[in-house]
Structure 1
Amino acid sequence: MQEFSDFLRHKCAYVAIATFKPGKFPEAQKLFEEAVATYNKGFKGAYLFQKPNTDEGIAFIIWEKIEDMEENQGETYQKIMGEMKHLFASPPETDFYELSTEIKP
């Protein structure tokens, strides 16, 4: 049976908005997919959007709670992020958002 406190908990999203060096989006996408494949506890889904005909993207990674994201940043994840660093045209803007509304079909 679910506890009442479970209903008070809200999923959160780590959001990163980035511009990559010209032609580097496909490489960044591959590394994003590799990093996401390392996630487990608390991971609820990931989305990577690309603005058409540009090297601009937005990543949404959904977590049960922020602490779960921190627990999933192991050695393999850190290595992948290190490989991705040189692909950015400038440092990405990042932030956390709490889910306030969820509408499913």
Structure 2
Amino acid sequence: MREFSDFLRHNYGYVAIATFKPGKFPEAQRLFEEAVKTYTKGFKGAYLLQKPNTDEGIAVILWEKLEDMEENQNETHEKILEKMKHLFASPPETNFYELSTEIKP
């Protein structure tokens, strides 16, 4: 049974907004999926959104705690991110957000 304090805890989201070089979104998507598969502790889900007919995207990765994201950084993850660097048209804008509302169907 969940404790009352569990309902007061909020998940966190890492959000990256990026534009990729022309035609590079599919490769970035493949590498994103590869990186996400390495996540374990505290990982709550991931979404990759693409603006139709563009190479613009938004990645959202949900974590139980911010520290969980840091704990999931490892050599494999870093190698995948290194492969992704050359795909960006400009550095992505990144930030962390606290999940304040969650509505499920």
TM-score by length of 1: 0.96
Q: Secondary structure at the match of 2:54?
A: coil
TM-score by length of 2: 0.96
The Cα RMSD (Å) is: 0.8
Look up the match of 2:2: 2
Number of residue pairs matched?
A: 105
Q: Percent identity, please.
A: 83
Letter in 2 for 1:51: K
Supply the distance in 2 between the matched residues of 1:91 and 1:51 (Cα, whole angstroms): 17
C-alpha displacement at 1:9, in angstroms?
Answer: 1.2
Supply the distance in 2 between the matched residues of 1:70 and 1:31 (Cα, whole angstroms): 19
Q: Which 5+ residue runs of structure 2 have no aligned equivalent?
A: none
1:11-63 CA distance string (max 9 Å, x none): 01000000000000000000000000000000000000000000000000000
Supply the distance in 2 between the matched residues of 1:97 and 1:2 (Cα, whole angstroms): 24
Look up the match of 2:86: 86
Letter in 1 for 2:60: F
Superposition pairs for residues 1-105 of structure 1, below 5 Å? 1-105=1-105
